[in-house]
Amino acid sequence: MLTSVNPSREAVDFGVSVRLHVRDLLARDLPACTWSGSATHLRYVEEELVRATAGGVDYLAVYTAADLPVAIGGVDYRVSEGAGTLWQLAVLPPLQGHGLGTLLIRAAEQRIRDRGLNRAELAVEEDNPRARALYERLGYVAHGRAPDAWDAEGPDGAVRRYETMCVLMRRDV
């Protein structure tokens, strides 16, 4: 539900229907994905799009009717035998909590099934309870913990190694 402010300054909720569709993310769409991360992050996404052309990953996006990406994420088929591993899931911040993440994950799970696999896996940072709650609502179950690390660009433009601990989760699809 979206909220509007009327002239008397009290919030009023109103429903808005928006047509959305899911398709492969394309390199030409990356300039519209700056909300998902830094320039360094977008270079990594661009590299994954190259891998997608070779079939090792699927990289999907939820698009508006104007063909603007509002949620993105990938499925890597080489991480775990017999499973697709979801990663780099992101939703445009003002639209979080409105079902776009669910739509994206369900589309990713369909891609996993289309490859004849029956399990989806993912890792979620331990300090991200909102994302973990979404995954649990969608039927994902924790089965372990593991450290993870990647290069992250700070506000000053410097790239540093980011290290974190993740909860490993999976679901039969």
14-32 pLDDT, tens digit each: 777 889 999 999 999 999 9
Has residue 14 been placed in a domain? no
The helix or strand, by DSSP H or E, that contains position 49, with its residue range, turns out to be: helix 39-53
Name the one residue in this structure whose structure tokens are 């320039």: 39
What's the rounded Cα separation, in Å, for the pair 28 and 39? 15
- CATH number of the domain encompassing residue 30: 3.40.630.30
Per-residue DSSP letter, 102: H
Q: How many independent structural domains does the chain possess?
A: 1
**What is the domain range of residue 110?**
20-172
88-139 pLDDT, tens digit each: 999 999 999 999 999 999 999 999 999 999 999 999 999 999 999 999 999 9
42-68 pLDDT, tens digit each: 999 999 999 999 999 999 999 999 999
Per-residue DSSP letter, 98: S
Has residue 43 been placed in a domain? yes
Encoded amino acid at 65, one letter: A
Has residue 10 been placed in a domain? no
Q: What's the whole-model pTM score?
A: 0.88
Structure tokens at 54: 């070779």
